[in-house]
Amino acid sequence: MNTNPDILSGKICPYCGKPTIHCSDSVIYGRTYGGMMYVCSTCDAYVGCHKPNPTQALGRLANAELRQYKIAAHASFDSLWQRKIDRDGVSKTQGRKAAYRWLSKATGIEVEYCHIGMMDIEECKKVIEVCAPFVKK
């Protein structure tokens, strides 16, 4: 995992190392959904920002291949914390936090960096692998 804070905050592209552009989501989607993004047009890589804090990236930039792995990793992982909410009656925040602690132990990624938004392809593959036995088919 690359733990460079400028990469994890979306300010530097992890592919080419150049500074990114902070812009409206309309640059990527052709219309605005009210959000902001960090974009590297050279690498066709981007990441969205949190709505309450439009300068806080949701993770590192992702190119098309990594975006597909992140979607697959979320599909495997999200059902786990959602089931915990239903089973234990905990809040969404509590369920996600507990699930990410478990994922940190299962993958060996430090809990501070164990978030799908921060992961690269190999780490996303590991998420899919460790979650596979628990994913309902």
pLDDT in tens, 11-29: 999 999 999 999 999 999 9
Report the pLDDT value the prediction gives residue 54, as an integer from 0 to 100: 93
Instruction: Give the mean model confidence (pLDDT) for residues 84-98.
Output: 92
Report CA dihedral (29, 30, 32, 36) to the nearest 10 degrees: 50
The pLDDT > 70 percentage for the chain reads: 99
Q: Is 59 a member of any domain?
A: no
Judge if 44 and 68 occupy the same domain: no
Domain that holds residue 126: 64-134
Could you read off the pLDDT of 36-50 as tens digits, one per residue?
Answer: 999 999 999 999 999
12/57 Cα distance (integer angstroms) = 11
Judge if 21 and 73 occupy the same domain: no
Instruction: Give the mean model confidence (pLDDT) for residues 126-132.
Output: 96
Judge if 68 and 119 occupy the same domain: yes
Report the pLDDT value the prediction gives residue 137, as an integer from 0 to 100: 62
72/115 Cα distance (integer angstroms) = 14
